[in-house]
Amino acid sequence: MRSTIVLAALLSALAAGCGTPPQERFFTLASDTAPETRSTASGIGFTIVVGPVTVPEMVDRPQIVLRSAANRVELAEQARWAAPLKSEIPRVVADHLARLLDGARTATSMQRASSPPDYRVLIDIQRFDSVPQEGATIQAQWTITTTKEAAPLNGRSLVTERAGAGFDELVAAHSRALAAVSRDIASAIGAARTAPK
């Protein structure tokens, strides 16, 4: 009788150990979140390199970090970024700038450029908050430098986008927030290009 109980316990343990683990899902930021109006200030070709981009150490990890309270965060072990945010964010911003600015050819600092860019965009992400069933907040400080002897352009963006339940909604909200940050940067570059020399 005792051996039967022990065997049953072992089989139960084996069955539990062989259970299917939760499946990981991978997410990526999108750059086609909304139609964009191109600036037609200048059709002359120019180059923009985006990056490097810094992100808070708290969110610089594969797992999506969820803010559950003012002083508490949780790691979503089964919801992960497909690529590091330090490479995802400049890719998305570069894609947006290419569509927003007429004549712009864009790249990220991780891509090899054949010559110095006309503009370089440095971005410091200070907040990248994900709050389930509420939304996504991105706070960024950015600096635009140029090859010409001009002072750098400094700016700040703070964007919150609402999101419903689920990681798909939350990641989509971050994508929309990055689109808004990109519009701020594009406006600054467009204004610099049309300013009297």
8 pLDDT band, cuts 50/70/90, is very low
Q: What percent of the chain has pLDDT over 70?
A: 82
Mean pLDDT (whole number) for 92-120: 91
What per-residue confidence (pLDDT) applies to 158?
98
pLDDT in tens, 137-160: 999 999 999 987 789 999 999 999
Residues 6+ apart with CB under 8 A from 151: none
Dihedral of the CA atoms 110, 90, 152, 161 (nearest 10)?
A: -170
Residue 117: other Cβ atoms inside 10 A:
19
pLDDT tier at 110 (50, 70, 90 boundaries)? Answer: confident
Residue 33: closest CA among 105, 83, 120, 95: 95
What's the predicted TM-score (pTM) here?
0.84
**pLDDT at site 70:** 84
The full set of domains in the chain, from first to last, is: 39-194 (3.40.50.10610)
pLDDT greater than 50 at residue 19: yes
Whether 7 shows a pLDDT value over 50: the answer reads no
Q: Which residues pair with 39 in a beta bridge?
A: 101
Beta strands 72-81 and 135-146: pairing type? Answer: unpaired
Q: Which of 192, 82, 110, 104 minimizes the C-alpha distance to 146? A: 192
The pLDDT value recorded for residue 43 is 55
